[in-house]
Amino acid sequence: MVQSEIREPVPQRVGDIDLFIEGDVLYAAMLDSIAAASRSVRMESYIFAADEVGWRFAEALGERARAGIDVRLHLDAAGVRGAASTALQRSMMERGVHVKYFHRWVRRRPLRYNRRNHRKLLVIDEDLAYVGGFNIHRQSSREFYGARRWRDTHAAFTGTLAAEAAKVFDAFWRGHRRWLPTRSDTGAAALIPSSSRACQRRIHCLYSDAFASARERIYLSTPYFVPDLRTQRSLIEAARRGVDVRLLVPASSDVPIASWAAQAVYAVLLAAGVSIFRYVPRMLHTKTAVVDGSWAALGTANLDYRSFFLNYELVLALREPRLCAVLEQHFLADLAQSVPIAAQVWERRSWAQRLLESLGWALRRWL
């Protein structure tokens, strides 16, 4: 039974990290932080729409740039296509905002356009950073989109980790795609980019290792679930050794063909004991994982080919039990508003549905 949802009007502070699950609350905090910047503002976003939310951020960034603050905005060329506008860009650049587009279309190098900067990062003065799944658009705002706003997760943090986030941004801005902070694997929290000089598929390995080490439970939320064979095997092996593996996906996706590709692997996962649930109230866009209540990850990476092998992503990995507990609570609250997929019912799906799944799976590397 799907229960009515209850959402918190303020971020949850857990140790040194704030967790956000409401877009309006996050946007207000980010705008306040931008307004308070005294030295620099660094921002990355996959989508930066020319809508009510996007213009609020454009005005805030422009105001800081006009005040003499170093403001840099890194946007993905494919992500903003159709969402941004020339007027929005001109407004910011005329005020002194440095705007850069990642991998613009070049006819001589068409495949490069398929590798995207999917990161969402905001760093203020090297002292405060935000990272997570929220884009800059009205779809994540209750004020402008209503009750059907997208469900997402974001985090804010300060201190050494925020300073590392600034360095991660700067390296990527300069074109160093595999630069990695020297302290990224220490402490209770770590900022993990997609790749480094030592590992080209760093986030893929991160999740695979976490699933392989699970002993009690794995709770996963992802809007786009198109797992490669290694990820499938990790989840299947975990379920077969008695781990409670639960996967939460959207009941209705903004990219239907991605759902078809996901559904192509449901049968084998269900047969192995993986529990799959569809989140009903709205579009699920959160990307979180919690393993055994002792390890968690949130950020921009989906559990799909694009995030693991193509896109540039950013994940916050956590080994803080209190944070893991809060993320588990969020997951279980979402689960209460979801419907399970029964293995027996799934086996009886139509041949038309199976054909759509085959089509989605054939295109899985391009979704």
Q: Give the Cα-Cα-Cα angle 175, 180, 184 (nearest 5 degrees).
A: 150
Distance CA 133, CA 302 (A): 9
Asked whether the predicted pLDDT for residue 251 surpasses 80, the reply is yes
pLDDT of residue 2: 45
Query: Do 202-366 and 12-181 fall under one CATH topology?
Result: yes
Locate 251 and state its tokens. Answer: 């009941």
Q: Which pLDDT score, from 0 to 100, does residue 198 have?
A: 55
Q: Worst-scoring range by mean pLDDT, 86-95, 103-112, 316-325?
A: 103-112
- 52-104 pLDDT, tens digit each: 999 999 999 999 999 999 999 999 988 888 777 889 999 999 999 999 999 76
pLDDT in the model for residue 1:
40
Task: Report the alpha-carbon distance of residue 359 to residue 146 in Å, rounded.
Answer: 33
Does residue 262 surpass a pLDDT of 80?
Answer: yes
pLDDT bracket for residue 181 (50, 70, 90): low
Q: What CA–CA distances, in Å, run from 344 to 193, 205, 307, 347?
A: 39, 33, 31, 5
From residue 272, how far is each of 98, 207, 226, 243, 266 by CA, in Å? 51, 19, 17, 11, 10
Cα separation of 116 and 304, whole Å? 14
% residues pLDDT > 70 (the chain): 90
Q: Does residue 185 carry a pLDDT above 60?
A: no
Name which of 1, 22, 2, 110 is nearest 11 in CA terms.
Answer: 22
Which carries the bigger pLDDT value, residue 172 or residue 344? 172
pLDDT-derived band at 3 (thresholds 50, 70, 90) equals very low
Q: Which CATH architecture has domain 202-366?
A: 2-Layer Sandwich (3.30)
pLDDT of 362 above 90: no
Assign domain 12-181 to its CATH architecture.
2-Layer Sandwich (3.30)
> Domain-by-domain residue ranges, the chain?
12-181, 202-366
Mean pLDDT over each residue of the chain, to the nearest integer: 90
